[in-house]
Amino acid sequence: MKWFIYIIMVGMYADGTQDTYLYTEPTLPTLEACQEYVYRNSDQLRMDMMIEFDGKQIDRVFCIEEEKLKKFFETMKEGTDA
C-alpha cells in the first residue's frame, strides 16, 4: 500500500471549494510512516504551502491510502461530469 499526504488550506471560495495540495512524492508505506513524515517535516510542509498558495495557512493535513484516494478522485470526477 502507498500513502499520500493531502493538505487542505484555510479559506473557502464563494462556490464552497478550498485550495488543496496532494504530495505525490514521497509515498509512504504505512499510515504510521506517513504520520511520522508529516510530524518530522511539518515546518517544510508549511513553508511549501505558503509559497504555493501565497502565504495561506494550512487548515488540515491528511494521510490517505492510495485506493481511497483513487475512489475520492473518481467521486469528484463523477460530480463534475453531471
Place of cell 509515498: 27
Task: Identify the pLDDT of residue 78.
Answer: 79
**Using the 8-state DSSP alphabet, how is residue 60 labeled?**
E
Total domains in the chain come to 1
CB atoms within 10 A of CB 9: 18
**Backbone dihedral angles phi then psi of residue 15, each to the nearest 5 degrees:** -85, 5
Task: Identify the pLDDT of residue 77.
Answer: 80
What type of residue sits at position 8? I
Q: What's CA 31's distance to the chain center, in Å?
A: 14
pLDDT in tens, the chain (82 residues): 899 999 999 999 999 999 999 999 999 999 999 999 999 999 999 999 999 999 999 999 999 999 999 998 888 787 666 5
- C-alpha cell of 65? 491510502
When computed from its CA atoms, the radius of gyration of the chain, rounded to whole angstroms, is 14
Domain ranges, residue 67? 3-11+18-81
